[in-house]
Amino acid sequence: MYELEDTYWWFVARRELALSILRRAGLSGATLLDVGCGTGAGQSAFAEFGTVFGVDFSQEALEFSGSRGLSLLSKANAEVLPVQSSSVDAVVTLDTIEHVADDEAALREIARVLKPGGLLLMNVPAFMFLWGPHDVALMHQRRYTTASARKAVLGAGLEIERATYSVFLLFPLVLAARVVSKLKGGEPSAKLPDLPRWFQSFLGWVMRVELALIRSVNLPWGSSVVIVARKPK
């Protein structure tokens, strides 16, 4: 992940979508919490909005984040955040909540640490029919629909602003890759395919076209669910 996060098309597209949503929210001089900060590329990018704190349950991930020069880091589980109540302006959690055994507890914790009016941006994998060896290798607990993600976020007392799918235009490719993975069998692996540079550029271009779409409309399907919510004032 550390080697690929800055350049691989999927990581880049996910980060660009998050940045677009945060910019449209008008955040400036804010305090942000990156829940499941991984190896730190997102935390570095979100610094344009203010002070960003990162939490992750993996010590190895935090060490990679530290190698980027990041220091506002803490080892923690999303279900028990080491953060004061009503203390952060925004929480970003990208492909993290699906790893948590009790996603409802994690979302309640996120609601607790948000200031009144604070923003949640959540990205999670979509559709259980896409479940396969990749999910097993990554220790996922579940995949979501917009309906199930909305229900979990609303259950934490947050108000939904947007619920959409992403990776919509490339969904046929994702579906085909998952079918091939299931047919091949073998040991579960989380390795991303090694793609030629020209193909990565093409995929990145497609995702930028999708980003233009998603600014205006909620997409009807995709391999990820994106939720934007706020803590009531």
The confidence band for 12, taking pLDDT boundaries of 50, 70 and 90, is: very high
Structural element, H or E, at residue 35: strand 30-35
pLDDT tens digits, one per residue of 46-89: 999 999 999 999 999 999 999 999 999 999 999 999 999 999 99
Q: Please tell me what DSSP assigns to residue 48.
A: G
Q: Is 34 helix (H, G, I), strand (E, B) or coil?
A: strand
What is the structure's pLDDT at 189? 67
What is the structure's pLDDT at 142? 97
Q: Over the range 218-230, which residues count as b (16 or more CB within 10 Å of their CB) and which as e?
A: ebeebbbbbbbbb
User: How far apart are alpha carbons 28 and 72 in whole angstroms?
Assistant: 18
pLDDT tens digits, one per residue of 67-76: 999 999 999 9
Stretch 15-44: mean pLDDT: 96
Instruction: Decide if pLDDT at 218 tops 80.
Output: yes
Q: For the chain, list the domains and their CATH numbers.
A: 9-230 (3.40.50.150)
pLDDT tens digits, one per residue of 156-214: 999 999 999 999 999 999 999 888 887 877 676 677 888 899 999 999 999 999 999 99
What is the structure's pLDDT at 41? 95
User: How far apart are alpha carbons 63 and 66 in whole angstroms?
Assistant: 5
Report CA-CA distances (Å) from 104 to 99, 183, 186: 12, 33, 33
What is the structure's pLDDT at 7? 93
What is the structure's pLDDT at 186? 65
What is the structure's pLDDT at 1? 87
pLDDT tens digits, one per residue of 113-160: 999 999 999 999 999 999 988 899 889 999 999 999 999 999 999 999
User: How far apart are alpha carbons 57 and 78 in whole angstroms?
Assistant: 8
Stretch 32-36: mean pLDDT: 98
